[in-house]
Amino acid sequence: MSTKTLTVPFVESTSRNRSQTVTIPKLKNIVSVTVNTGNVSHTINGETVTINVSNGTYTRYTTSSYVDTIDVNTYRVSYPGISLSYIWMGSTHGWAEGSTGGVPRTASYNSNGYTGVLNYSSEYMNAGTSSGPPSYPGKTLYEVVTGYTCTKTGVYDGKASKTITNYTYYYAYTVTITYLTNDLPSVDLMTGNNLLNTDGNCEDLQGWSVYSTDILTLSQAVKKYGMHSFKFSNVGNDGYRYKDNLSLDATKYYLASVDVFIESFTSGFYRLFISDAGGFTNSISANANVTKIGVWQNVYLKFTGKANTRLSLGNGSITTGVAYMDGVRLYEISQEIYNKIDIDPEYSGDKLVAKFTYTDPTIPSTLPENTPLLIQGTATDPDVGNVLTVKYKINNGTPQALQSGVSDGSTPLSFAKTLTYRNKRLRDGSTDVTGADLAENVDHTLTVWAEDDQGGKSTEVIRKFRVIHNRAPIISDQDRSLGTIQSAPSITYTVADPEENPFTITEKINGSTIRSYSGVPNRQETLTIPANTWLMLEPGVPHTMTITAADEQGMSSSRTFTFTRQVDEIMFDGLQVPMETDIAAERILLTPDWQIPLGAEVRVEVCNNGFDDEPTWEDCTIPAKMGRGYAFLNTVKTAEKWGVNFRVRIQKGTATSEASLSGIGGAYDVHLPL
């Protein structure tokens, strides 16, 4: 939370009372509102503040004048002391007023600022204002007596005028608002935030400085990401490439890693290490496992307490060999994860690498089936007491909460969640967070942001990714015909799942299962037909063998082999496990279900010591043809137990029609001693 001031000018205007609306982003509260003159009040609606000013002192004024003329009618002016005479009209009438003096012919007018000279219109004597008549009678008729006075009123008409001046007043205000802002939260998303940017993609050598012998080239032959990798070829020399002056924060925590492929090796080591900028002091290193030849491995190390830093990779101690490095990354991690690395099994070895896979900022990350998508980082809010909530969404889906807490104004709120891409959707455990299948070959977005309970929202951090739909296991070889064959076929094959899902292999002949078992990736397997099943296959007609591999997601693939069985000889080579007896069997009866044409050659053999390494086979052909029992001649064994077994061989000979063996029944007996 920050205290700020905002000056709001009301420009000069002839309006003394005015209002103005201002928008204050992230406004949390108004502390005070003052004005330089007059009165001020305000109202608040969210981030909008309405200011009202009134009764201020004017800043200046202007004038304008004109002459206004009016008509004046019957304007009266009293004049006292006007001379008056009396005339004697006799004793009957007495004195009568005679002549009087006149009033002025013009009169000055001055009223309400209007002035002018008016012209005489008429006059009259005011009643009761004369000083006569004389108190004595006249001497003669019509005698005139003077020396008396009266008051007369003159009536005037005309025009009057005055100069009128208009005043225009101007008012200006300066309002000062002191307010508190809700500072916006911020999010630092660590997932995919490779601090090396595109320099970690190993697509060119620029940006990497040479130390010692430059034995580094670009390779397209062996690479894990993109088009190239760094190839270190060395005979008897050290060689490194490094990035110097990486500006880090000594108070934060970091994870550096690189993928390494060792093609050949005699001595020395291949190494990733961190040191102080400008050299190799205070270095921390991690070496590749030089016993892993011809496979990719990841080398990683964690560190903290470094600001200006050098990251180096290469070989040392007079290495003789060839190695490739690709996908160099440097991630900022939380202290919580830093403490778990190589302590917690979930944050060690391959499981750690799976959480911090290489990402090129120019290339969306790709999620095969069952791949985790780690959403990890920190959020901060400078405003103490704000409730901070971190959220995310996939594409334009429903926002999901990651973490929440009350801000103390400085301590970052850590968050971490692992989603898993499975069956075309991202899932939080078993919960689908996408709401729809994610299409292949298009960019999808992970959007992360933070909100506080005051309406503040951080800038959205967006990461792109793509998905690969679950693919069926891959069976080696190809569908093919084995042609016409006389003996049971044997086919070797391997199975691998592109997403490394567990899978089950089922082998069938003509739709009937021979065996079904859990597969092992890339292990050589052999499909064969059991002897008794082979004998049961009808000659001269097509037969089908299938291998089906199905993963736990339900995706499956099949490999099909066809053949036709040609029979010049039918052989049943005995039971795999002889029929165990307590003592030596004395007699046996065999009843074969067969068709033996004229000219075919048949041999049936039996034994009662079937568990011996070399059983004693006795000819039982004629009794089997006749349906009669046969008495064993043998009375000895070398194995620990007795066992009955038999075998049949039918050869075509000169026969022109088909021979067949559909099954063999029978019985045997023993005579226990009394």
Same domain, 93 and 152: yes
Weakest-pLDDT range from 46-50, 76-80, 533-537, 540-544: 533-537
Number of residues assigned to the chain: 674
In a domain, 164, yes or no: no
Confidence of residue 398 (pLDDT cuts 50, 70, 90): very high
Same domain, 308 and 211: yes
- Mean pLDDT over 13-20 rounds to 95
Report how far apart, in Å, the C-alpha atoms of 388 and of each of 370, 383, 446, 476, 633 are: 32, 10, 20, 54, 94
* Residue 93 reports pLDDT greater than 60: yes
Residue 643's nearest CA partner among 613, 602, 600, 603 is: 613
pLDDT in tens, 199-240: 888 888 888 888 766 577 888 889 888 788 999 887 666 678
pLDDT in tens, 505-531: 999 999 999 999 999 999 999 999 998
Same domain, 498 and 592: no
pLDDT in tens, 625-669: 999 999 999 999 999 999 999 999 999 888 888 788 888 999 999
Same domain, 407 and 423: yes
Of 183, 218, 249, the one marking the end of a domain is 183
Say what percent of the chain tops pLDDT 70.
97
* Confidence (pLDDT) at 674: 46
In a domain, 12, yes or no: yes
Same domain, 441 and 581: no
* Confidence (pLDDT) at 666: 93
Strand arrangement of the beta sheet that strand 18-23 belongs to:
18-23, 48-54, 39-45
In this structure, which amino acid lies at residue 407?
S
Q: Which residues contact 326 (CB under 8 A, 6 or more apart)?
A: 202, 223, 224, 225, 226, 228, 229, 230, 258, 259, 261, 358
Same domain, 346 and 381: no
In a domain, 265, yes or no: yes
* Confidence (pLDDT) at 361: 58
Exposure b/e, 401-436, CB count within 10 A at least 16 = b = ebbbbebeeeebbbbbbebbbbebbbeeeeeebbee
326, 229 contact by CB (below 8 A): yes
Weakest-pLDDT range from 226-240, 271-285, 568-582: 226-240
The structure's pTM equals 0.46
- Mean pLDDT over 551-565 rounds to 92
- Mean pLDDT over 133-157 rounds to 89
Residue 23's nearest CA partner among 53, 47, 51, 40 is: 47
DSSP conformational letter for 458: P
Q: What's the number of domains the chain is made of? A: 6
Of 335, 356, 377, the one marking the end of a domain is 356
- Mean pLDDT over 570-593 rounds to 93
* Confidence (pLDDT) at 135: 86
Confidence of residue 6 (pLDDT cuts 50, 70, 90): very high
In a domain, 617, yes or no: yes
In a domain, 361, yes or no: no
In a domain, 362, yes or no: no
Bridge partner list, 271? 287, 314
Same domain, 558 and 489: yes
* Residue 535 reports pLDDT greater than 90: no
Strand segments, DSSP code E, in 584-641 are 587-595, 601-607, 618-619, 629-631
243, 194 contact by CB (below 8 A): no
Same domain, 233 and 335: yes
Same domain, 290 and 318: yes
Confidence of residue 494 (pLDDT cuts 50, 70, 90): very high
CA dist., res. 215 & res. 230, Å (int):
10
Say what percent of the chain tops pLDDT 90.
57
Q: How many degrees, rounded to 5, is the angle at CA 144 between CA 140 and CA 149?
A: 145
Of 356, 381, 405, the one marking the end of a domain is 356
* Residue 457 reports pLDDT greater than 50: yes
Q: Which CATH number do you get for residue 346?
A: 2.60.120.260
Same domain, 430 and 517: no
pLDDT in tens, 302-341: 999 999 999 999 887 756 788 999 999 998 888 888 999 9
Confidence of residue 672 (pLDDT cuts 50, 70, 90): low
- Mean pLDDT over 365-394 rounds to 87
Q: Rounded mean pLDDT of the chain? A: 89
* Residue 495 reports pLDDT greater than 70: yes
Q: How far apart are the first and last CA of the chain?
A: 107
Q: Which CATH number do you get for residue 403?
A: 2.60.40.10
Task: Give the HSE-up count for residue 548: Cα atoms under 13 Å, Cβ half-sphere.
Answer: 16
* Confidence (pLDDT) at 192: 54
Same domain, 561 and 579: no
In a domain, 217, yes or no: yes
Domain that holds residue 540: 474-565
* Residue 363 reports pLDDT greater than 80: no
Weakest-pLDDT range from 18-27, 461-470, 508-517: 461-470
In a domain, 163, yes or no: no
- Mean pLDDT over 392-412 rounds to 92
Same domain, 593 and 612: yes
